[in-house]
Amino acid sequence: MGTLVDGLAAMMLITVCIISLLVHIYSTEYLHGDVRFTHYYAFLSLFTASMLFYVLSSNTLQMLVGWELVGVCSFGLIGHWWEEKKNTDAALKAFLTNRVGDIGLILGVIITFFAAGGTSFNVLHINEYALSQGANTTLLLVGALCLFGGVTSKSGQFPLHTWLPDAMAGPTPVSALIHAATMVVAGVYLIARLYAVFFSGLAIGSSTFHYVAFIGGFTTIVGGLLAFVQTDLKKVLAYSTISQLGYMVMALGVGAWTAGVFHLFTHAFFKACLFLGAGSVSHACHHTFDMREMGGLRKKMPVTHATFLVATLALAGIFPLAGFWSKDEILAGSASGQENAYTIMLIFGLITAFLTAAYMGRAYWMTFWGDYRGHAKPHESPKVITVPLMILAGCAVVLGFTNFPKSFFGFKLPGSLTTRFEHFVEPTFAFPPVQHAAFTPWLAIASTILAAGGLFVAYQYYEKNRGPHGLTSRNKVAMAGYTFLENKYYLDELYIGVVAGSTKGPLARAANWFNQNILDGIINGIGLGARKIAAVVYVVADQLIIDGAVNGSGQGSEGAGQLLRKIQTGKVQQYASILFAGAVVLAGVLVFVV
Q: 233: which residues sit within 8 A by CB, 6+ positions away?
A: 278, 281, 282, 289, 290, 291, 294, 363, 367
- Position 375 confidence tier, pLDDT thresholds 50, 70, 90: confident
Mean pLDDT value across residues 170-190: 90
Helix segments in 285-419, DSSP class H: 297-300, 302-316, 322-335, 343-368, 383-398
102-116, 239-253, 412-426: which has the minimum mean pLDDT?
A: 412-426
> Would you list the DSSP string of 373-401?
-SSS---PPPHHHHHHHHHHHHHHHHGGG
Instruction: Inform me whether the pLDDT recorded for 547 exceeds 80.
Output: no
Bond into 159 cis (ω within 30): yes
- Position 526 confidence tier, pLDDT thresholds 50, 70, 90: confident
Alpha-carbon distance of 450 to 133, in angstroms, equals 45
Residue-range domain boundaries for the chain: 7-405+414-467, 517-593
Mean pLDDT value across residues 213-240: 91
Instruction: Inform me whether the pLDDT recorded for 110 exceeds 60.
Output: yes
Q: 256: which residues sit within 8 A by CB, 6+ positions away?
A: 329, 330, 332, 333, 334, 336, 435, 437
Mean pLDDT value across residues 149-168: 90
Mean pLDDT value across residues 108-137: 81
DSSP symbol at 293: G
Q: 526: which residues sit within 8 A by CB, 6+ positions away?
A: none
What pLDDT, on the 0 to 100 scale, is given for residue 339?
Answer: 43
Instruction: Inform me whether the pLDDT recorded for 541 exceeds 70.
Output: no
Instruction: Inform me whether the pLDDT recorded for 433 exceeds 80.
Output: no
Instruction: Inform me whether the pLDDT recorded for 208 exceeds 70.
Output: no
- Position 207 confidence tier, pLDDT thresholds 50, 70, 90: very low
What pLDDT, on the 0 to 100 scale, is given for residue 337?
Answer: 57
- Mark residue 125 as left, alpha or beta (left: phi above 0; alpha: psi -120 to 50; beta: remaining): alpha
Question: pTM score, two decimals?
Answer: 0.82
Mean pLDDT of the chain: 85
Tens-place pLDDT, residues 259-285: 899 999 999 999 999 999 999 998 877
**Helices 85-115 and 60-78, packing angle to 10 deg:** 180
DSSP symbol at 232: B
Q: 472: which residues sit within 8 A by CB, 6+ positions away?
A: 478, 479, 482
Alpha-carbon distance of 225 to 193, in angstroms, equals 30
277-291, 315-329, 439-453, 487-501: which has the minimum mean pLDDT?
A: 487-501
For residues 113 and 16, the model is more confident at: 16
What pLDDT, on the 0 to 100 scale, is given for residue 340?
Answer: 47
Tens-place pLDDT, residues 241-254: 999 999 999 988 88
51-55, 470-474, 569-573: which has the minimum mean pLDDT?
A: 470-474
Q: HSE of 234 in the Cβ direction (CA atoms, 13 Å)? A: 25
Alpha-carbon distance of 30 to 360, in angstroms, equals 24
Question: Could you give the 3-state DSSP secondary structure of residue 280?
Answer: helix
Mean pLDDT value across residues 178-183: 87
